[in-house]
A and B are shown apart, each in its own frame.
Chain A
Amino acid sequence: MCLGIPGELVDTVDEQPDLAVVMVSGVRRKINVALLSDQDLRLGDWVLVHVGFALSKISEDEARAVLSFLSSLGTPYDDELNALRESNIG
């Protein structure tokens, strides 16, 4: 819940500008990007995702560093990814 996990914006969602599709460690899910609506987000950008919301835009280098760090955490990151897999935000 407290982990911010990096996701790459890979798609938009028709008629729902608040939502976007991200790829997080091979998991593809919809998240809410409304908290970054002042950031001019584009496909290919990386964001830190907290409980289904993009909370900050980060560089690709930072995203890779965070992913490597999260992988080193083991169980907490696995739990978060498993929870994300179950997510069905619409």
Chain B
Amino acid sequence: MRYVDEFRDADRARALASRIARLAEPGREYKFMEVCGGHTHTIYKHGLEDYLPENITLVHGPGCPVCVIPMGRVDDAIHIARQPGVLMTSFGDMMRVPGGNGSFFDSNARDTNIRMVYSPLDALAIARDRPELRVVFMAIGFETTAPSTAMTLLRAKAEGLRNFFVFANHVTIIPAIKAILDSPDLRLDGFLGPGHVSTVIGCRPYEFIARDYGKPVVVAGFEPLDILQSIYLLMLQLSQGRCAVENQYGRVVPWDGNPIALRAITQTMRLRPYFEWRGLGFITSSALRLREEFAAFDAEQVFELPGLRVADPKSCQCGEVLKGVLKPWECKVFGTACTPETPIGTCMVSPEGACAAYYNFGRFSRQRVREASRA
């Protein structure tokens, strides 16, 4: 466990914390959602909530791509992996995500050989070297990883490969934010915008949040100071009665994103009419599938999929956690039946999932606060 005081620039962190506190009006409650799981990780790891006044709450959003994959898609992937001559490949983060009948790791213990790869280009290299295999890449992630799938597809087509396929599960962040804004469960005062996703999509797609919903957005970097400074910028906007999109992470995120990456996504993929998000349900136009021109590479068209919807376990409250309605520790199975070693819900699988981040770091901080309040 590391706190901000152990981090570099601890003085700047404390100065920011006191500037934030000065802007917080007594009696007013502030709720900000950090959309990205990377931010959640930093917040818990560095105990950032302890540096905020009590009337500022951070709500952890749905921006962990592993956490939102529904069980049915895991089952579909395992079904593909079982077909003769198929080698299924996946990012390592996906391997422990539970499906209706276990995870990729569980499936490998039975009868599959789902292989971890670092990049879709590694899956492509295997397809090139092993023409006797049908190599399938389990594509997941927001706009951060979608360009890598897109560029790999363009390369596969240019090379004329016939044994490389993509099982597309890419999701897009804006419809999820809109679904949360439209949800009656939650009243938010502003957003910390995701850093890496914005490297690709830029800052303009968030403008509707300020324009139509009247909430400020600050695209934030991943270090503790970035997050504190972004919270300060949100508080400053609110105190001045402004709401706009601002870019705290300008040293990495260009305002217009990466046009080459956006073009590659558009060339190879199109929006699905709807897609199921684990815990959040079906969200309109919120995910990507391959375009018709890439049908020969589309695992959904080449393989017959069961496509069954599998309900989340009744005990699991990932949906409420992903919407920020429940804090991780308020879930009935948190830390008892559901732990990082034996996850029931996806929020406990990825280190960026709110439950895993809280389980690994936050609970110590919470104990510390409780102990402090007893003293």
Q: Quick one: CB contact mask for B220-261 with A, threshold 8 Å, 1 for yes? A: 001100000000000000000000000000011110001111
CB distance from B310 to the nearest CB of A (A): 23
Shortest CB distance B317–A (Å) = 23
**B254, chain A: closest CB distance, angstroms:** 8
CA distance A12 to B260 in the complex (A): 20
A contacts with B, residue count (CB < 8 A):
36
Give per-residue flags for A26-65: 1 if the beta carbon is below 8 A from chain B beta carbons, else 0. 0000001011111000000000101111011011001001
Residues B141 and A2 in contact, CB atoms below 8 Å apart: yes
Residue of A nearest to B122 (CB): A87
Chain B residue at smallest Cβ distance from A87? B118
Bound Cα distance A66, B101 (Å)? 39
Stretch from B144-152, B163-171, B277-285, B320-328 that touches the partner: B144-152
Taking A1-B92, A69-B222 as contacts, is the C-beta distance between A35 and B121 under 8 angstroms?
no
CB within 8 Å of A: which of B35-85?
A: 37-38, 41, 45, 64-66
CA distance A87 to B145 in the complex (A): 16
B289: interface (CB < 8 Å): no
Selected from A34, A35, A48, the residue in CB contact (under 8 A) with B252 is A48
Interface string of A68-84 (1 = CB under 8 A from B): 11001101100100011
| Known interface pairs A1-B141, A3-B38, A50-B148; A55-B261 also in contact (CB < 8 Å) | yes
Q: How far is the CA of A32 from the CA of B261 in the complex (A)?
A: 12
Contact status A68-B252, CB under 8 Å: no
Per the bound structure, the CA–CA distance linking A34 and B151 in Å amounts to 8
A69→B225 CA distance, assembly (Å): 11
Q: Is the CB of B144 within 8 A of A32?
A: no
Beta-carbon contact of B93 and A1 below 8 Å: yes
**What's the nearest-Cβ distance from chain A to residue B337, in Å?**
23
Please determine whether A50 and B45 come into contact, CB atoms closer than 8 angstroms: no
The smallest beta-carbon distance between B174 and chain A, in angstroms, is: 18
Which chain B residues border A32 with CB–CB below 8 Å? 121, 148, 151
Give the interface size bracket for B toward A.
Answer: 35 or more
Among residues 101 to 145 in chain B, which have CB atoms less than 8 Å away from a CB atom of chain A?
116-122, 125, 128, 140-141, 144-145
Q: How far is the CA of A47 from the CA of B119 in the complex (A)?
A: 16
Bound together, the chains give a CA A2 to CA B2 distance in angstroms of: 21
Q: Is the Cβ of A73 less than 8 Å from the Cβ of B122?
A: no
Known contacts A48-B252, A51-B118, A51-B148; A38 and B92 CB within 8 A of each other: no
Please report the C-alpha to C-alpha distance between residue A12 and residue B119 in the assembled complex, in whole angstroms.
19
Contact assessment for A35 and B251 in the assembled complex, using a CB-CB cutoff below 8 Å? no
Which of A36, A38, A56: most chain B CB closer than 10 A? A56
With the chains together, A50 CA to B20 CA distance in Å? Answer: 33
B364 at the interface (CB under 8 A from A): no
In-complex Cβ contact of B45 among A36, A37, A73 (8 A)? A73
Instruction: Indicate whether B192 reaches chain A with its CB closer than 8 angstroms.
Output: no
A59 to B250 CA separation, bound complex (whole angstroms)? 12
Contact B145 A38 (CB under 8 A): no
Closest 10 CB pairs of A and B: A52-B119, A83-B118, A87-B118, A1-B91, A89-B121, A1-B93, A51-B119, A76-B351, A53-B148, A51-B148
Give me 4 other A-B pairs in contact (C-beta within 8 A), A36-B260, A52-B118, A83-B91 excluded.
A1-B141, A2-B144, A36-B258, A87-B121
26 CB contacts below 8 A, A to B, read A1-B66, A1-B91, A2-B93, A2-B141, A2-B196, A3-B38, A32-B151, A36-B258, A48-B199, A51-B91, A53-B147, A53-B151, A55-B199, A55-B258, A59-B251, A62-B251, A68-B8, A69-B223, A72-B45, A75-B351, A83-B92, A86-B117, A86-B118, A87-B118, A89-B121, A89-B125
